[in-house]
Amino acid sequence: MKRSELNFLEPRRQAQAAIAIFIYKFVVRILRAAWPILLVFLFRSNKEQSNTELLMNATVVIGGLFSLGVSVVAYFRYFFHLEEDQLVIQKGVFNRSLTKLPFERIQNLYIEQNVLHRLLGVVSLRVDSAGSSGHEVTIDALEREDAEAMRAYVLEQKQEEAQERSGLGPEASERSAPLAQSIVLRLTFEDLLRIGVTQNHLATAGVIVGTVFGFLFTVAGAFEQDLVKTLIERWPMLQPGFWGFLILATLLFVVAFFLTLIRTVTQHYDLQFFESRDGFQLKAGLFNRREASMQKRKIQLIRWTDNPLRRLLGLFRVSIHQAISGSERVAEQISIPGCKQAQVNDLVHSSFEGSAEAEFRGHCISKAYFIWYIRFMLLPAVVFGALGYLLQEPRFALPAVGFPVLGGLYLWAYQQRFRLWLSPEYLKTSEGVLGRTVTLLPVYKVQSVRIRQSFFQRRRALASVELYTAGGSVRVPFLPLDLARALQDYVLYRVESRREDWM
Amino acid sequence: MSIEELPSVAGVEWQGLNQAYLRVDLIGLWLFRLGVLGVFLAYTFFVEGFPPVVRWSIAGLWVFLLLLTTVLRYLGFRIKGYAVRQHDLMYRRGLLFRSVTVVPFTRIQHSEVEQGVIERQFGLSSLSVFTAGGSQSDLVIPGLKREDAERIRNFLSQKVAADEEE
């Protein structure tokens, strides 16, 4: 495409339909945040408004009008254009920002259209830059031909750049024909039941309790009636007392158990995991069939986890992390429940070349970890102890003693079992008290290193190290400062001294 | 090459932030905290029968915490600093909880120069550096003179582009 044909070289606004889309987004946001208030507004029994209510409603209305104004102004202050080798976006109502996105950082451009876009006859252009969440670039409203022209132009520029760099013809890059795949793992219905049974049911129970209470309180709060209280009074099962509690707890557990089981089976139904020379592919799901694929060279880190029940069956959940852009695409991570140790090893070794031969040296974390965190366990103990003493209530002794004892045991076990394994090319951590989580990553995948030191750690010459990759991070708490610094220096040296395709 | 010969992060020379940034930081802090206090007080006066003891003790605690934060920010200001090394960008912060973050140039996706309302009054800018994946590994260096921020950003873009061509 000739550059002269493009009219994106000067800063320009989006199609005017963008105003409608901004307003639509704003309305959705309002509805999501304020639905209880609106519900009350519509279904209130007495039409008299108290002062507080009036204030609240006025706040909502003013806030709404204000944000509406902001959405409209935002349209007029949003400019984009293409420069020689980058996409430039200027925007912002209060805080102006200028984003420059070099073409070589752009992974792909997607033209998308939802119902509203279709009504207005425009499209949105999403630019995937493998950047951070919240900093992805989406141009909300463009004429379709403009979007297509822009997309074609950027991709063409990218390809030219790539060819100049590699000195290869265009056919070389497109030759990657699909290679033969071999199936690595397939889960039968029986496997799924086994995995479902060994899931963390307590977590599901927690989610159920949270959701039910959250819903009741929102609704009760909105109608200014003590709905929860009425509910409790009417249901004999909810009366305080040992039997009521037991029945409720059993019921909750049974519901949680079956919910996790059903979810596991539907989510991983007929899971098939393939491997080819360059990558992996996963297919699974009963209702929503997911298909995820991943290139081996894009894998950032691999993590495998067990829990006490899984340990009995020798099963692990393996998750393979690649560069994510934005939180909503976490689904692109591949996660496989029910792998045997041998399968885990095969997977790791075929993803990370040479990791099978790597010689690791283990390091422990400092006992000061226990000393620092036990303080936070003592705090609730003191509070419960004081309350028990003041109220003359001996039952408070249970949490007062339980917190530090159980918490202390946990901390102690965590500190004892934590290991950092280092080899020249790979880094591995192993952590966990009841279960164990192992994380393995090639050192050169690291994209930023952070050393943290609290005042407590500084006095003892200790430090915590955080290593971030494009697919997830690893945190090693309470290392000796010398080791932490040597690790940081080495990782940076390894990353900076060679140029490798890392993402 | 042994571990001792590696370029070390420990002995780096830190560039402090622009002195005016301390004021920007504190003005922002006070505006926000006093704003919250104002809303709280207005609310308690609006609701009939709100016990004055509770009102003033909460307000007092709030102001005390504000003063404490101010002192910590003031003392913490001299810790904040950045360093541009041959292959990476570093930022240090935190008085009680110190952190040093290093991002190699080769891992930078893009960078932005931003200016908040208060920063603009003092001619200051923030430089944000973004890496791939989650936002945890991103780096923000506040309190730079506009032209310094632009200069570092341009330097980073050149570095990134040069690396791509090698």
Give Cα A278 to chain centroid, integer Å: 26
Q: Is B47 on the interface with A (CB under 8 A)?
A: yes
Closest CA relative to residue A275, chosen from A325, A357, A349 = A349
Whether residues A492 and B88 touch (CB distance < 8 A) is answered with: yes
CATH of range B80-165; options 2.30.29, 1.20.120, 3.30.420, 1.10.10 = 2.30.29
Whether residues A470 and B101 touch (CB distance < 8 A) is answered with: no
Sites in chain A below the pLDDT cut of 70: 1-6, 40-51, 108, 130-136, 165-180, 220-241, 288-291, 324-332
Structure confidence at residue A2 (pLDDT): 44
Chain A neighbors of B127, CB-CB under 8 A: none
Whether residues A448 and B3 touch (CB distance < 8 A) is answered with: no
| CB contact at 8 A, B28 and B70 | no
Which residues lie below 8 Å from residue A457, measured CB to CB, with a gap of 6+?
A: A368, A372, A463, A464, A478, A481
Sites in chain B below the pLDDT cut of 50: none
The dihedral through the CA atoms of A400, A402, A407, A409 has a sign that is positive
Residue boundaries of the structural domains of chain B: 20-76, 80-165
Task: Give the Cα separation of B141 and A271 in Å (integer).
Answer: 46
Chain B neighbors of A484, CB-CB under 8 A: none
The class (CATH top level) of A3-166 is mainly beta
Residue boundaries of the structural domains of chain A: 3-166, 176-351, 368-415
Q: Say which of A135, A300, A448 has its CB closest to residue B103.
A: A448
Structure confidence at residue A288 (pLDDT): 66
| CB contact at 8 A, A88 and A80 | yes
Chain A neighbors of B7, CB-CB under 8 A: 489, 492-493
Structure confidence at residue A68 (pLDDT): 81
Which chain A residue shows the shortest CA-CA distance from B134?
A132
pLDDT single digits (tens) B13-48:
899 999 999 999 999 999 999 999 999 999 888 888
Whether residues A503 and B132 touch (CB distance < 8 A) is answered with: yes
Chain B neighbors of A451, CB-CB under 8 A: 9, 99-100
H helix or E strand, kind and range, residue A18: helix A17-43
3-state secondary structure of B145: strand
Structure confidence at residue A178 (pLDDT): 45
Neighbour tally for A28: CB within 10 Å: 10
Angle at the Cα of A44 (from A42 to A47), degrees rounded to 5? 110
Structure confidence at residue A330 (pLDDT): 46
Structure confidence at residue A313 (pLDDT): 87
Which chain A residue shows the shortest CA-CA distance from B157?
A102
